Amino acid sequence: MNKMISHSEADTMKIARQFAEETEPGDVVCLSGNLGSGKTQFVRGFVQVFGLDADVVSSPTFTIINEYNGNLSVYHFDCYRLEHYTEALEIGAEEYFYGDGVCIVEWPERISELLPPHSKQITLTATGKNEREIIFH
């Protein structure tokens, strides 16, 4: 387990970029944390490593999956509104999880039954107004 402290949104994005440098096609990254803990900001930094602008990232709360096509495809899931993991099955989530891109999943606990065993777990916690604790499990 590795723990980092972010003191700003820019720090969170920098930490995400460093993490993304070590991801590979087929990786599934799970981001856990309460509302406002910095998950979407983490994704904004993460996608930059793949040649994408941070501004392409919005919380996909109403679409469930946003696809970002850069040097490598990044599939951004937001499972917050899912009532049951079968809803993710219906939209073909497993095809993404075992595909050639990188998946980054917000609210992974909503679909834990579907996540591959090789998924990487990250927990973000707001510890102050701008401070976040980021734990890599």
Q: Out of 55-64, 81-90, 102-111, which region has the weakest mean confidence (pLDDT)?
A: 55-64
Q: Which residue has the tokens 């941070």?
A: 54
Residue range of the domain that includes 72? 2-136
- pLDDT reported for residue 59: 64
- pLDDT reported for residue 60: 55
> Which domain CATH number covers 45?
3.40.50.300
CA pair distance 61, 55, nearest whole angstrom? 16
For the range 57-65, what are the long-range contacts, defined as Cβ-Cβ under 8 Å and sequence gap of 24 or more?
59/106, 64/88, 64/91, 65/91, 65/93, 65/96
Q: Structurally, how many domains does the chain consist of?
A: 1
- pLDDT reported for residue 62: 67
Is residue 116's pLDDT more than 90? yes
pTM (whole model) above 0.95:
no
Is residue 48's pLDDT more than 70? yes
- Listed in sequence order, the residues at least 6 apart from 67 whose beta carbon sits closer than 8 Å to its beta carbon are 73, 74, 75, 76
